[in-house]
Structures are given as structure tokens and as C-alpha cells.
Structure 1
Amino acid sequence: MRIGIVNLMHDKVATQARFAQRLQQWQPAIELTYFYPVDHYRNRPVPASVAAISQPLDLATVATMDAVIVTGAPVERLDFEAVTYYQELTRLFDFLAQRHLPTLFVCWGAMAALHHFFGIEKLSLTHKYFGGYSQRIQQPTPLLADLPRHFIAPHARYAEVNHDQVNQVAALAVNATTTTDELFLLTQQDQPFSYLFAHLEYDGPALQQEFIREQAAWGGLPAQPVNYDLATGQPLFSWETTSQRFFKNWLTQVQITEEI
């Protein structure tokens, strides 16, 4: 199986290691290809650290993949059109839809895809939604197989999409939310697309590292993750089992789609 990962995250090396761990623990032979958006570096050199671990986003190469993941990005507070690579991503989104290629859109990647396909608006939150939160299943889906009705997952974002607009799209199913109704997972009925709003690729120290990075970048004290021990970088409620089961289920669905 070949999976392409469009890595839009700030911590690219750590992000790629996390996805590799989540996916290859189930299928060690999976071939992972990482892409960066060309337009992000249109007027400046591609950093050597990026070029060393990923390749420019190319639709001809994407066409050889069995599935694609579009990661989150630390740009939730920008308008979509203000993001330098948004138009490049929309061309990718259209290509994925034309080919009915199984795709997992994560966090901002999910927001961007929903905006492009359905015109769903992104709404800024009054404060960062950050930490390990309890989720609940609303509509069963194979992606949530073997998970309890309530489970823990990590979120790290400054925005949410418009729920009223989501509910008006017949092709979208709200499969799970937090216990306070923030979105966790949507699936699309007419495409093999899944929209995940939690960072299930995160390992235990990831929220601690994100907090430290934002503190260094902006100064002051950024939002502190809830249900999480910053001193040790460990969650008070573990999402390890949730992550393992979710990615195992997603790989199973990719294989089923390949066989149809």
C-alpha cells in the first residue's frame, strides 16, 4: 500500500515520525510519501530540512497513491484565501474527488476541504481548544469500530466549522463530537473522504511540545492544554488506544475501497 501525506504542520520531522508510527505499526510494508506545497515556497528557497524529508506536491505522483492524508496546519486564524498554498490545495482536492481516492483530512486540512467542497465557513473560537477531551459517538462508522461510545482524543485548534452548514449537507454524516459538541469526525457518503478534527497522530509529549513552541514564538503564556500534565508531557486521559484503533480502521477501509 502506498499512502501520500501532504505535511502542512510546523514540526514536519515530528509529524512524519508520528504518522509513520501510527500507520506502519499495523502494516510495516506501507510506503509513505511526504509532500510539501510548492506555493508555500514560491518566493523563497525550500529549506534543506524540508527538501530532505519530502517532495514537491505533484498530482501525477499523487495519482500513484492508494490513499492520501492532508495534515493540519497552524493557520486556523487566517482566511483560507490568505494562506499562500490554499489554491494549490484546492487543485489537489478536486483531483482527489475526481479519482475517488480515499483521503483523511485532519484538523485545518478538514476545514479547508469542507470550505472548498461545500462552502462551509470556519469560525474562530474565543480561545484555543487544546488538550485531551472526551468524545462521544453520534452515528456509527467503521472508522470508529471497537471504540467505546465515549473515548478521549487530543484537540489543538483555534477554529471550528459552522455546524448549521454541516447539517445542511446531506452527504456529510456527523459521526462523533466532543461531549460539548465540538466536531471530532465527519464522513462523506459520496466520496471515500473522512474529516478528522482531532490530532490522533499525536503522541503523549506532542501537546507539551506545541505549548513550548507557541510560548517561544509569541512570548507570554499561550493556552494550556486541559486534562494534561505539562510538567511531564503526559495526558491524564490516554488516547493511545483511540489512535491505534482509528488508524487501523482507516487502513482497513482503504483496503476495502481498493478491492471494490
Structure 2
Amino acid sequence: MTIYCGKKIVGADLMRYNPNICVDIADENLPKIGILNLMPNKYDTEKQLLELLSRTKLDLEVNFIRLLTHSSKSVPNEYLEENYEFFDEVKEDIDCLIVTGAPVEKLEFNQVSYIDELNKIMDYMKSKGKKSVFICWGAQAALNHYYGIRKELCEEKVFGIFKHKKLEECLLLEGISDNFYAPHSRHTRLRSEDIRRYSALTTLAYSEGAGEYIIVDDNSLYILGHCEYHKETLKNEYFRDLNKGLSINIPKNYFVNDDPYNDIIESWQEDGVKLYENWLRRSLKLQ
């Protein structure tokens, strides 16, 4: 359906081919989704999430949000001032919040410069009963803030497309096959035993290779992977790190015959769209 931005979002401009994304003012009665974009490459993240949301069967207004206590080094400040809002400016209007990941996972949470502001945002959403979805590091940060669950460094980066098994039958996973695939790209993980200590938390999907993927409680959805990723996102990450001289393995189950110069095996996007559509319908109490 149609996603309304109302701002000159570069990610929307990159998808002029997509008739379901409209840079225009939305009807005031449409559900309003806030996206707290913590990623350095904000344009790519805008594009990924707008594309994913546009493939749901919902009309939505999207507001991109920035932090007061963090300045982006990769995007002109003028762009953010013109097209992003501070959380306090939109917090009463938004119905749900999406919090992206961030490339700070090797830091302790208390070493992240903006963690106090992020924690206050999470507290507000929970206190008002407004639903949130947290992605990758965002999910780890939220689980640490709400439950004290710590992350630990992996010996090898979790990188590629991993097979997951549904552990529960529920509305959030309706229409998703019992075994499905999703991208992961992270250096840290959570321990299953830490999550099981909390009766409020339920793990809905798990991967032998990547660990927990989808965790829920009454107010939030925690996605430890990246079902919003475009087809070539992992490819771009792989060659970016190679060009920096970093040690990086070929992403698993991604290239045909594990050859980075072959085609990409695209296996996750439909299930990612379904997960977000199910979450939105449940959160917004839509039929």
C-alpha cells in the first residue's frame, strides 16, 4: 500500500520507481510510525525500511527520528535538520516506533554516547503502552535496558543468510513457513539461558547458526537480524570490509556456490515483509 513521508527523504527519492512511496502529507487519520535511524548510512537504511513497509498491505505515515545527543558524520546536518525530527517533537503523535541497529556493538552499552537518551525513549514508549520493534544492536540495547541481558562477543562474525525454526505458533508468525531464512550481520550474540530466565520474554524463532532471531514481550518485538536488508546489502558490506583490508568471511548461504562474483540467493524478503505486517496489524489493532 502507500507509505507517506512528508519530507524529502533521500531513501524515498532513491525509490522513485516505487509507486507505493509518496513524499506528501498524509491523511491525519493514518497510523504514524516513527523510525529512529541510528545507522551511519542513513540513506540506505531509509530505503530498506521504506521499501519493506511499502510491501505491506497498510497505508502508513512515516517519520524519521534523530537523536539530540548524537551528530552524524556521514550525512549533512542540514539534511537531518530539514527531514528528521527529534523524538520529543513526535512522541505524542506516533503510534509505533522502529529502532534500527548501530555499528557500536563492540562497545559496552554504557560506553555508547547516546545510550541515556535512547533509554529514555524506550522508557517513554513502554510507559505509554506504545509498541516498538528493535533491530539487531537496537534489540540488544533494549533487552539490556529492560532486563539487564548482556551481549557477548562472537569468535567469528555472524554473517550471511541463516535458516531459522519457528518455536511458537502465533499471530506474529502467521503466514511464515516453519523453517525460513533471514540475514544476520553482527559480532555479538545473546545467550539463550539469559533470555529463558525471564518469563516475560518468548523466543519465537531460533537459528542453530545465528542464535535467537525473534524475541517478544508484551510491548516489544526484538529482531536480532536484518529482514529489512536489500538483496545486495551483505554483498556491499563484504566488499566494503575487504577494501578496508579487514578480515571478513564470505557471507554464508548468500552467493551461488559461495562465490562472491556469482548471483545472490534471495530467500528472505517475503517473510520479512510478512513479519512486519503482522507486527503492525497487531500493534495498531487492525483487522
Flag the 1:60–1:175 CA change in 2: closer, same or farther, 3 A.
same
Counterpart of 1:96 in structure 2: which amino acid?
Answer: M
Aligned-partner Cα distance in 1 for 2:215–2:108: 22
Note if 1:220 corresponds to 2:250. Answer: no
User: By how many angstroms is 1:225 displaced?
Assistant: 0.8
Rg larger in structure: 2
Report the count of equivalent residues: 252
Paired position in structure 2 for 1:206 = 233
Q: State percent identity of aligned pairs.
A: 27
SS at match of 1:92: helix
The TM-score with structure 1 as length reference comes to 0.89
The TM-score with structure 2 as length reference comes to 0.81
CA deviation map 1:149-170 (0-9, x unaligned): 1001111111112322211001
Aligned-partner Cα distance in 2 for 1:203–1:177: 22
Flag the 1:233–1:143 CA change in 2: closer, same or farther, 3 A.
farther
Flag the 1:233–1:252 CA change in 2: closer, same or farther, 3 A.
farther
User: RCO (CA 8 Å, sep 6+): is it higher in 1 or 2?
Assistant: 1
User: By how many angstroms is 1:255 displaced?
Assistant: 2.2
Aligned-partner Cα distance in 1 for 2:82–2:269: 29
Note if 1:107 corresponds to 2:136. Answer: yes
SS at match of 1:40: coil
Paired position in structure 2 for 1:126 = 155
Q: Quick check: 1:12–1:50 contact (8 Å CA) kept in 2?
A: no
Question: Please, which of 70, 91, 107 is the counterpart of residue 62 of structure 1?
Answer: 91
Aligned-partner Cα distance in 2 for 1:248–1:196: 14
Aligned-partner Cα distance in 2 for 1:38–1:211: 31
Flag the 1:224–1:37 CA change in 2: closer, same or farther, 3 A.
farther
User: By how many angstroms is 1:147 displaced?
Assistant: 1.0
Aligned-partner Cα distance in 2 for 1:221–1:53: 36
Flag the 1:117–1:53 CA change in 2: closer, same or farther, 3 A.
same
Aligned-partner Cα distance in 1 for 2:50–2:134: 16
SS at match of 2:149: coil
Counterpart of 2:214 in structure 1: which amino acid?
Answer: L
Query: How is 1:24-103 mapped onto 2 (pairs within 5 angstroms)?
Result: 24-27=54-57, 29-41=59-71, 47-55=77-85, 57-103=86-132
CA deviation map 1:11-63 (0-9, x unaligned): 210111111111122256311111122211299x96334445423x3234122
Query: How is 1:155-194 mapped onto 2 (pairs within 5 angstroms)?
Result: 155-180=184-209, 182-188=211-217, 191-194=218-221
Note if 1:14 corresponds to 2:41. Answer: no
User: By how many angstroms is 1:68 displaced?
Assistant: 0.4
Flag the 1:168–1:227 CA change in 2: closer, same or farther, 3 A.
same
Aligned-partner Cα distance in 2 for 1:28–1:246: 13
User: By how many angstroms is 1:233 displaced?
Assistant: 6.3
Flag the 1:233–1:113 CA change in 2: closer, same or farther, 3 A.
farther
Aligned-partner Cα distance in 1 for 2:159–2:277: 25
Q: Quick check: 1:128–1:157 contact (8 Å CA) kept in 2?
A: yes
Aligned-partner Cα distance in 2 for 1:248–1:200: 12
User: By how many angstroms is 1:254 displaced?
Assistant: 2.0
Aligned-partner Cα distance in 2 for 1:49–1:219: 31
Aligned-partner Cα distance in 1 for 2:113–2:241: 21
Structure 1 regions of 5+ residues with no counterpart? none
Moved over 4 A (4+): none
CA RMSD of aligned residues (A): 2.2
Aligned-partner Cα distance in 1 for 2:214–2:251: 21
CA deviation map 1:56-105 (0-9, x unaligned): x3234122101100011111111111111111100001101101111101
Aligned-partner Cα distance in 2 for 1:211–1:48: 30
